[in-house]
Structure 1
Amino acid sequence: MKKTKFLIATAILGIATFVAIAADHIDAPAVAGGTSDITDFYAFQGENTSNIAFVANVQGLLGSGSATQNAAFDENVLIEFNIDTTGDNVEDLVIQAVARDGKMYVFGPVAPSQTGLNSSIASNAANQVVVDITPYGQNAIVETSGGIMAFAGPRDDPFFMDFNRYGAIIGGVETEFANPGTDTFAGSNVMSLVVEVPKSMIGGSGTINTWVESKRKQ
């Protein structure tokens, strides 16, 4: 795969020791309803406590059935996990993923060739995984290479939010959320990318800063 420049489309920031969660469902006008819209970002310690998992969900509010079955990762969009190990809020490592012909190509963790808004795919990275994108309704396809595991495909939206109750609170009709409330996202799906890597590939100890970006090919 040749080097291709990508320009940032949207980003979500999180800070992780063991768990980071951020969510944002299609409220950014530039990407609303588009294939680069990030809905959720998670970073957490893996079941194997020597690993850390990074999860990016895109294309939120996909309906069940044909809407999800016809959904696909945009081949012109790069998904990039950024990892800051020195506390200066500048990425020291990136994990990059781009779809091609029904497969997701994952590169890194690797030091980026440049930081900030523009990126080039690190196609010569020592750490690489290629995984078939799991079709809707089928068991998860997971590939492992060099201790890195990767999955890409449709999944149920994991985020819980009672928007009707939220609206009532904002409007002054209610004062608190109901318990358990009604999940507005029930029955909706996302396109999900999951990459789990050994902590030893990230280096450092204690807290890292991590965020995810989607970048569209220019």
Structure 2
Amino acid sequence: MKKTKIILGLSLLAVTGLTLVAADHIDAPSVTNNASDITDFYAFQGQDTNNLVFAVNTQGLLTPGTTAAASFNENVMIEVNIDNTGNNIEDLVIQAIRKGDKMYFFGPYAPSATGKASSINTSQASGSVEISKYGQAPIIADQNGMKFFAGPRDDPFFFDLGQYQAVIGMTATGFKPTGTDTFAGTNVLSVVIEVPKSKLGTAASLNTWVETKKKQ
């Protein structure tokens, strides 16, 4: 599970240029190399400053040769949780789940239950988008004031794993000014949602985190 905090400012417009990210490739054996593995989560202000963008990346370390065969699982839901009251409990959720060749989105709306259990309120559908294919132009849907994307992307997270291991092993004292991108040349499967700030409440700050949940 990834968690981050977005400081919006009193006007909900004071995050120009702000990007927050949490990352953790290959969390645990039960999610390694499958649709449940969240590699990183980004939350930032959109090009339209009235909007926020949530980007969830899954299934990291995909090589160019394996990316085309990678797919979202119809039994795995991606859920962006939004706390706008400061109690670290989700007040709103945005959910995404694949059906066939499309990704369907629901919310933001108040969940019927918080924590591990979730259900989808199908009356709160916000849109859908055809899942983009590797090597082709990205498909972006614009519906109900929101924008959606689902499909493969180059892994955007930069991390020098070799130097990190050297620091941990005490054979180096720090990171280099220009490191080596361990994830260069690898891909992820991404879900991106752009949503008007007006749909997220009027709080001065938001706590956000993302989860993948398997259908029971």
Fold in common (TM above 0.5): yes
Larger deviation: 201-210 or 39-48? Answer: 201-210
Partner letter of residue 207 of structure 1? S
Alignment of 1:118-129 (within 5 A): 118-125=117-124, 127-129=125-127
Identical columns (%):
55
In the alignment, what sits opposite 1:159? 157
Pairing 1:16–2:6 present: yes
Alignment of 1:1-218 (within 5 A): 11-17=1-7, 18=15, 19-65=19-65, 67-125=66-124, 127-218=125-216
- Measure how far apart 1:191 and its partner are: 0.2
- Local SS of the residue matching 1:119: coil
In the alignment, what sits opposite 1:7? none
Partner letter of residue 83 of structure 2? D
Structure 2: segments with no counterpart, 5+ residues? 8-14
- Local SS of the residue matching 1:118: coil
Q: Superposition RMSD on alpha carbons, in Å?
A: 1.0
- Local SS of the residue matching 2:167: helix
- Measure how far apart 1:205 and its partner are: 3.3
In the alignment, what sits opposite 2:10? none
Partner letter of residue 127 of structure 2? V
C-alpha separation in 2, matches of 1:205 and 1:74: 34
Q: Note if contact 2:85-2:203 (Cα within 8 Å) is conserved in structure 1.
A: no
- Local SS of the residue matching 2:151: strand
- Measure how far apart 1:78 and its partner are: 0.2
1:169-209 per-position Cα deviation (integer Å, ceiling 9, x unaligned): 11111111112111000000000000000000001132101
C-alpha separation in 1, matches of 2:149 and 2:178: 31
Task: Give the TM-score normalised by the residue count of structure 1.
Answer: 0.92
C-alpha separation in 2, matches of 1:158 and 1:206: 28
Structure 1: segments with no counterpart, 5+ residues? 1-10
C-alpha separation in 1, matches of 2:3 and 2:57: 14
Partner letter of residue 116 of structure 2? L
C-alpha separation in 2, matches of 1:29 and 1:179: 33
C-alpha separation in 1, matches of 2:179 and 2:88: 36
